[in-house]
Every structure is written in C-alpha cells, then in structure tokens.
Amino acid sequence: MSEQGLEQRNQRTVRKLVLGAVAMFGFAFAMVPIYDVLCDITGLNGKTNSTAADGAVEVDEDRLVTVQFVTVASEGMPWDFKPQVRSVKVHPGEITQVNFMVKNSADSTIVGQAIPSVTPGLAAPHLLKTQCFCFNHQTLAAGGEAEMPMIFYLDPALPKHINTITLSYTMFDVTGRVMENEDKLVAR
Amino acid sequence: MTAVAAHTDHHDDHHHAPHGLKRWLFSTNHKDIGTLYLWFSFAMFMIGGLMALVIRAELMYPGLQVVDPEFFNQMTTVHGLVMVFGAVMPATVGLANWMIPLMIGAPDMALPRMNNWSFWILPFAFTILISAVLMSAFGEGNPSAPNFGWTFYAPLSTKYGPASTDLFILSVHMMGISSIMGAINVIVTVLNMRAPGMTMMKMPLFVWTWLITAFLLVAVMPVLAGAVTMMLTDRHFGTSFFSAAGGGDPVLFQHIFWFFGHPEVYIMILPSFGIVSAIIPTFARKQLFGYASMVYATASIALLSFVVWAHHMFTVGMPLAGTLFFMYMTMLISVPTGVKVFNWVATMWRGSITFELPMKWALAFVVLFTCGGLSGLMLAMTPVDFQYHDTYFVVAHFHYVLVSGAIFSVFAAAYYWLPKWSGVMPNTFLGELHFWNSLLSVNLLFFPMHFVGLAGMPRRYADYALQFADYNYWVSIGAVRCGASQILFVIVCVLCAMKKGQKAPAAPWEGAEGLEWTVPSPAPFHTFDTPPVVK
C-alpha cells in the first residue's frame, strides 16, 4: 500500500462514484419515457390513444357501460367548453359519436389543445377513439364557435367490474407555443 | 505500514494550524470542517425553527391573525426545505466529518479540498433560498418566496410558481452538488482509508450507516437535480415534462420527486441509527446485540427505499396492483427497522445502565422514533391512507421521526462527543433542562396533531375549522416551549466552545469503546498520523 497506490485507489473510487452520480442524473430523464411506456401498458395516468384507432370489433350486447363526460377549460382560459350530453350508455364494441361545444369568448384568436384523461385508469387502454378533436389543435377566432365530434367505442376486453367510465377533457391554451412554432416554420 | 506513515507525513507538511478567518475559509481539516457543518446546521435549525414558530403563531387561534395566507404558504415551504436540507442533512454530514476518520483510524477524509468545497457551497445555497423569504417579508411589493410546499409539486412550482422559484432551483442544485461531493468523500474515505486491521465488519455502526447513507445520496441526489432541471426547462425553455398541455404529465413529477424523496427520508434517519447504536452499548455497558444483523438491516432498509416511493401518492389514482405492491413493500420495511429496535432493546437487557445525557436522548429516540414508525405503518395501508393523506396525521408522523428521531439523535451525538470535540464536559444542569424541556414540549407539540389529523384537519392551510381550536392552542404552546428549550443548547455549545466546564479525559464515558476514545480530548488538530493497529 504505497502512497501512489492510495492516491490511485482514491481516484478510481471517485471516478466510479462520479460516473454513478451522472448516470443517476440521466436516469431521472430516462424516467420520462419509461413512465410513458408504463402508462401506455397499464393506463396508469388515464391517457387514451392519441391517434385514431380502427373500429371493427364485435359488439357485446349483454353489457351496458355508462360513459360520463367532464370538461374543464384550464385556469384563465376564456373558452366555454361543454359536452352535448353529460353521459351515454353504450355496449362494448358499439361505435358512438358525442359532440362537444366550444366557444371562444375572448377578443383574440386562441389555439386550444384538449387533453383527455380517463377514470378509472384501468379503463383507459380500453376506451378507443376513431376520431377526436383532441388529436389536433383547435383554433378559434375571437367570438368563434365550433361543434367538435368525438367518435369512440369500448374494447369488449374492458375489465368486467368496470361499469362506469369518466372521460375528462381539459382544454389548455397553447396559443403561444403554436405561434412560436409557426414563426419558426415561416423563418425556415 | 511505513509507506502509509510516509504518506500521512507528506500530507501534514504545513503542520502549523492557520488562524482566524482563513483557518475556516481554507480549511481542509476534517475536524474544522465538521465543526463548520455542525454550527451551520444548528444555525439553520434555529432559522427553520423561527419559521415553524410563525406557522404555529398563525395556527394558535382559528382565523387569520399574524400573517396572510400567502406568507403562511411560504413559511411552510421554506421551513421544510431549510430543516431537511439545511439542518438535518448537514448535521449528520458534520458528524460524519468529525467522527468517521477518528472511528476508522484515518488521518483525515480522503479528499480534503473537496470537503472544503462541499461545505462552503452550503452557506451560499441557503443565502439564495432565504433571500427569497427576506425579499418577500421586507422587499418592495413583497415578491413571493417559494410557496408550493417543500415537495414543490408541478404545476404549482412550474406554471404557477412565483419568480423566486428560480432562486429555489439554483439553491437546490447547489445543495445537491454539496451533498453528492460530501457523500463521495465519505465512501472513498471508508473504503480506502481504514487503519490496518479495521475490516468492514469491525467498523463502528455509525460508519456503516453513513457508508450506506452516502450510497443513497449518490444515487438519488442526481435524480432531484434532474427534477429541478426539468422544472427549469418547463418554466423557461418551452419543454413540457410536467405540463399536460404539451403532452407531459404532472403526476410524472411526483414519481420523480418521490423516487428521490423516499430514499431521502432514510438519508436523514440512517446516520441516527448509527449514533444510537454507538451510545446505547456504552451506557448499557454491553456489546451491541446483533452487530451483523444491524448492518444487514441497514442495507435492506436502503435497498427497499427504492421500491416504496409511490406510497406518498396513493391518492393519485394508481391501479390496484400498483397500490398493493407499494403497500406491501412499505410494510416490509418495518421488518429490518423492527430488527434494529429489538437489537437496541436487547443490548440494554440486563445491562448495567446509567442515564447520562447522551443515553437519555438515545432512549427518547428509541421510544419516539418507534411511535413515528408505527404511525408510518398506519399510513402505509392504502385504504386508510386515503383518509390520512395530507392531514396533520402525516405532519405528526414525519415530525416524530425527524424531530424526536433524527434531531434527538443528533443531540445525543452532540452530548456524547462534545467532550471529544471541545475537551470539556457539556454542562449537565443545562443539558438536563434542555432534555426534559425538549422531551415534554416535543410531545405536546406533535402528539395532538395525530388527533386533529384523524379528525380531518388538512395540512398547509393558514386556518382551520373551529373544532380543532383547543388542540391547536396546545400544539402552539408546545412549539414555543420546544423552540425556547433549544436556546439552552446554544448555551451548552457556547460554554463548550469557550472551554468552560469540567475538563474531559480522553475517554469520558466508562463503557465506551472505539478508536475515537484513544486520542486525547479535545482531539488534536491531527490524529492518527501513524495508523493505529486494530486487533
């Protein structure tokens, strides 16, 4: 155990530990995609599919499931955002259309993005949308109104104990973000 | 052997101790840096305590009297941050700096310059954080200090965070760097600097618990740094890690935070286990019962701490399988913790116990920490957690394990090792007053919180329903008395620092074992220049 030996051993240990710390910093960021994948598999965060599903499954006439709709415009967003019906009763596999009404009561153009969330989370992977306004941004001019369709069906593999599903949409104001991106596209 | 001696001689070629401010600013001596850490953490403890008193003053009576709710929120937030990162963690790092080299027969920490750096980052980090509070209290327009709770959940800290959130982010980054460097230093010292014959399984338990704590720090402090970095980019650089509008998820923040946060809980308590495992055998005059099982229990607690984080988030709406997994894993932790408590009790069984001050604090730790552990077990049950979540029951739980747990053990350590640090025995009369006042007031302060919590009083509010008024009145009385008792400890420490008191021999405690008692009291500036031989 020479002096050189101790110093070298210390440096080696420090190097390993610093590497460990840097790796754990990276791991914090790796948790983001890991979380997304886990949520996709388990429906942990109640997110539904973000692109259209194809709708060809057998209808299960024996079951009737209540689907409720909840809408919220995020804090400070001057949009009036409502579903046309508050709830529907559907058979799993049955294709259903629900319309959502939205009105921009501000005096400027606003771009909105609706984010869905399903409760209970376990039902999220089984609520499949063939068409949804939440797949895209919604742009409304000052005072503008729109009727936005959402077409969905329930996967018959929906766990038996689930009789009621709540689908919530939160409308976020993404005007700044979208405008910025468009400016960048124009600049290119 | 001779080579090691030559090495240490080389290190000490500047053998004269520098004086004045430079001694502290440029110190690379583990004892001086340990002292700095300890004084710093005590200062933070008093500042955090003042914030707690503001909280308790507001909650003494129902209605709003002392501060407005916005400032109240800033107090709960910064009180938590200062106590966790400024008081408890630096206190145990200070103890590690002072005691680990003495306990393993090393001349100093392995990386003395880095040691200096990891301490001196801290005063700057906390100046930044506390400056936000000062600006909020006295600045023009009273710009808000961080007000989102010490757990800084998104979006409260991202979209809705005040401008001072960026001060908070910078200061957390600095604290993280300091902790990681401190932890690396401990690991390198323990692995490479042990005296000949000091095998791993002969190390005192304080060294073992700190070694494991240091590994936890290296593993999770970078995750915390990652979380605040994501907050920073979400706030200013257009990312959407935690913003649902951009495809992110605020619940992800809670997962990342608690992946850090739960091991952090053990970072604060494991060194305490080591302290108590040193003190109880001394005053029971028996070997520690089940040394090896203590080491394995500590390691199991550390490993389990990585798979229980979501028990802080049972109410976010996880699938049943997820909540069950986290519930059972959490309950599993009570097994190694129970092993520890039983070992301490078995150490005292048929021992020749005397009740000197360090032993009193250690016994209070064992009893009160176990109380906190049991309420933790109640919180671990998913179905009942839905009722307890974010109530004063949780506040009572974590203050039992942190105040009458971690902080009591640091007091125990201080009374135990102050003779070694200062060369004089701590004043017994003041120490007894400090102990009994703290013991009674801490229970008056935190025990009724269990009841108001179970009755449904939520945490983090500046006001409460009238039915909680009586309990809150007594809780506030307890808080004032607990805070005032700590002034006694200031006097004890100052008297020791001024060398006023009965002179301490090298081994002041009759039953104490360990290398630290083989050097004179106070411990000379340089110790173990020639490594001791451990049989």
> Which residues on chain A place their C-beta less than 8 Å from a C-beta of chain B?
1-3, 6, 9-10, 13-14, 17-18, 20-29, 31-32, 35, 39, 42-47, 74, 113, 115, 119-122, 170, 172-174, 177, 180
Question: For residue A88, what pLDDT band results from cuts at 50, 70 and 90?
Answer: very high
Distance from CA of A125 to the nearest CA of B (A): 13
Residue B68 reports pLDDT greater than 70: yes
Range with lowest mean pLDDT among A6-10, A174-178, A182-186, B137-141: A182-186
Percent above pLDDT 90 for chain A: 34
pLDDT, greater one: A131 or B281? B281
Which of A2, A9, A12, A14 best probes binding to B when mutated, by most B CB atoms within 10 angstroms?
A14
Cβ partners under 8 Å of residue A44, min gap 6: A35, A38, A121, B318, B319, B322
Question: For residue B127, what pLDDT band results from cuts at 50, 70 and 90?
Answer: very high
pLDDT value at residue A3: 62
Question: For residue B258, what is the nearest residue in chain A, using CA coordinates?
Answer: A28
Question: For residue B112, what is the nearest residue in chain A, using CA coordinates?
Answer: A10
Cβ partners under 8 Å of residue B260, min gap 6: B220, B221, B223, B224, B227
> Which residue in the list B337, B382, B438, B441 is annotated as catalytic?
B337
Residue A137 reports pLDDT greater than 70: yes
pLDDT value at residue B10: 44
- Judge whether B32 counts as a catalytic residue: no
What letter represents residue B434's amino acid?
A: H
The stretch B472-484 carries a mean pLDDT of 97
- Judge whether B529 counts as a catalytic residue: no
What letter represents residue B377's amino acid?
A: L
- CB neighbourhood size of B280 (10 A): 26
- Judge whether B404 counts as a catalytic residue: no
**CB distance from B180 to chain A under 8 Å?**
yes
CA pseudo-torsion sign B19, B24, B26, B27: positive
Q: B252: closest CA among B263, B262, B241, B261?
A: B241
Question: For residue A187, what pLDDT band results from cuts at 50, 70 and 90?
Answer: low
Which of A2, A7, A17 best probes binding to B when mutated, by most B CB atoms within 10 angstroms?
A17
> Which residue in the list B150, B461, B473, B474 is annotated as catalytic?
B150
ipTM: 0.89
Contact B77, B150 (CB under 8 A): yes
Residue B475 reports pLDDT greater than 90: yes
- The number of residues in chain B equals 535
The two tokens of residue B46 are 């008093």
Distance from CA of B50 to the nearest CA of A (A): 34
CA pseudo-torsion sign A152, A158, A164, A168: negative
Residue for token pair 């009404």:
A101
Highest averaged pLDDT of the listed ranges A37-46, A145-154, B39-48: B39-48
Cβ partners under 8 Å of residue A34, min gap 6: none
Q: Whole-angstrom Cα distance, residue B282 to residue B511?
A: 5
Q: What is the pLDDT of residues B151-182, one digit of tens each?
A: 999 999 998 999 999 999 999 999 999 999 99
**How do the residues of chain B divide into helix, strand and coil, expressed in percent and rounded to 5?**
75, 0, 25
pLDDT, greater one: B282 or A172? B282
Cβ partners under 8 Å of residue B57, min gap 6: B65, B66, B67, B476
Question: For residue B2, what pLDDT band results from cuts at 50, 70 and 90?
Answer: very low
Q: B209: closest CA among B95, B315, B65, B310?
A: B95
CA dist B428 to A178, B355, B480, B489, B507, Å? 69, 12, 23, 11, 17
Contact B205, B291 (CB under 8 A): yes
pLDDT value at residue B459: 95
pLDDT value at residue B3: 41
Whether residues A21 and B10 touch (CB distance < 8 A) is answered with no
Question: For residue A180, what is the nearest residue in chain B, using CA coordinates?
Answer: B238
Percent above pLDDT 70 for chain B: 97
Q: Whole-angstrom Cα distance, residue A165 to residue A154?
A: 10
Question: For residue B39, what pLDDT band results from cuts at 50, 70 and 90?
Answer: very high
Which of A1, A4, A12, A13 best probes binding to B when mutated, by most B CB atoms within 10 angstroms?
A13
CA dist B317 to A34, A157, B156, B322, Å? 18, 21, 19, 10
Q: What average pLDDT is seen over chain B?
A: 94
Which residues on chain B are in Cβ contact (under 8 Å) with A48? none
Phi, psi of A182 (to 5 degrees): -65, -40
Distance from CA of B532 to the nearest CA of A (A): 15
- Name the pTM for this structure: 0.89
The stretch A81-92 carries a mean pLDDT of 92
Q: B414: closest CA among B66, B12, B75, B34?
A: B34
Contact B329, B304 (CB under 8 A): yes
- Judge whether B312 counts as a catalytic residue: yes
CA pseudo-torsion sign B429, B433, B439, B442: negative
Question: For residue B4, what pLDDT band results from cuts at 50, 70 and 90?
Answer: very low
Question: For residue B504, what pLDDT band results from cuts at 50, 70 and 90?
Answer: very high
- Judge whether B76 counts as a catalytic residue: no
Question: For residue A181, what is the nearest residue in chain B, using CA coordinates?
Answer: B238
Contact A81, A72 (CB under 8 A): yes
Residue B383 reports pLDDT greater than 50: yes
Q: What average pLDDT is seen over chain A?
A: 86
Question: For residue B30, what pLDDT band results from cuts at 50, 70 and 90?
Answer: very high
Whether residues B187 and A1 touch (CB distance < 8 A) is answered with no
Residue B20 reports pLDDT greater than 60: yes
Q: Whole-angstrom Cα distance, residue B51 to residue A158?
A: 51
Question: For residue A44, what is the nearest residue in chain B, using CA coordinates?
Answer: B318
Contact B486, B49 (CB under 8 A): yes
Q: Whole-angstrom Cα distance, residue B306 to residue B322?
A: 15
Q: Whole-angstrom Cα distance, residue B98 to residue B414?
A: 11
What is the 3 state secondary structure string of B64-118? CCCCCHHHHHHHHHHHHHHHHHHHHHHHHHHHHHHHHHHHHCCCCCCCHHHHHHH
- CB neighbourhood size of A87 (10 A): 16
The stretch A140-169 carries a mean pLDDT of 90
Name the 3-class secondary structure at B153: coil
The stretch B202-215 carries a mean pLDDT of 97
What letter represents residue B39's amino acid?
A: W
B130-162 burial, b for 16+ CB within 10 Å, e for fewer?
bebbebbeeeeeeebbbbbbbbbbbbbbbeebb
pLDDT value at residue B1: 37
The stretch B290-316 carries a mean pLDDT of 95
Q: Whole-angstrom Cα distance, residue B238 to residue A176?
A: 10
- Judge whether B150 counts as a catalytic residue: yes
**CB distance from B7 to chain A under 8 Å?**
yes
Residue for token pair 């005397």:
B354
Highest averaged pLDDT of the listed ranges A135-139, B225-229, B530-534: B225-229
pLDDT value at residue A178: 76
